[in-house]
Amino acid sequence: MEHIAQFEQLGLHVTHLGDGFRCWDAEEYKHIVRRQKYKEQVRKRDRLKEKRGRLVKRACENCGTTKRLEFHHTLYQQPRKREVLCRSCHKKADNVG
């Protein structure tokens, strides 16, 4: 853990990942935080629309199942461009690319 303190003294942000650690400089870290906040805003907006009945999940667009449906955003810059996918198809879509 001593090496983490050394990175932080250099002004780098350190994040623990499953297989190790990742360091970012301050500007890159700010960009990542802004992007994550924007993604969460889009997700929150979709949940609210769904709750109000303005957005409906009917079936997975890949396999057709009606269980464990989620919205998949390929580009968060275009929040209206989303797919309805089941959990397993969503995991596969996120791991592609």
Q: Which pLDDT score, from 0 to 100, does residue 65 have? A: 94
Contact 71, 89 (CB under 8 A): no
**What's the CA angle centered on 38, arms 49 and 96, to 5 degrees?**
90
Tens of pLDDT, residues 6-23 = 666 666 667 766 666 666
Residue 51 has, within 13 A of its CA and on its CB side, a CA count of 6
pTM: 0.60
What number of residues does the chain have?
A: 97
Contact 12, 23 (CB under 8 A): yes
Helices (H), the chain: 2-9, 26-51, 87-95
SS3 14: strand
Q: Which pLDDT score, from 0 to 100, does residue 29 have? A: 75
- Specify the higher pLDDT residue, 85 or 12: 85
Q: Binning pLDDT at 50, 70 and 90, where does residue 95 land?
A: confident
Q: Residue 72 forms beta bridges with which residues?
A: 83
Tens of pLDDT, residues 38-62 = 989 988 998 899 899 998 888 999 9
For residue 1, pLDDT beyond 60: no
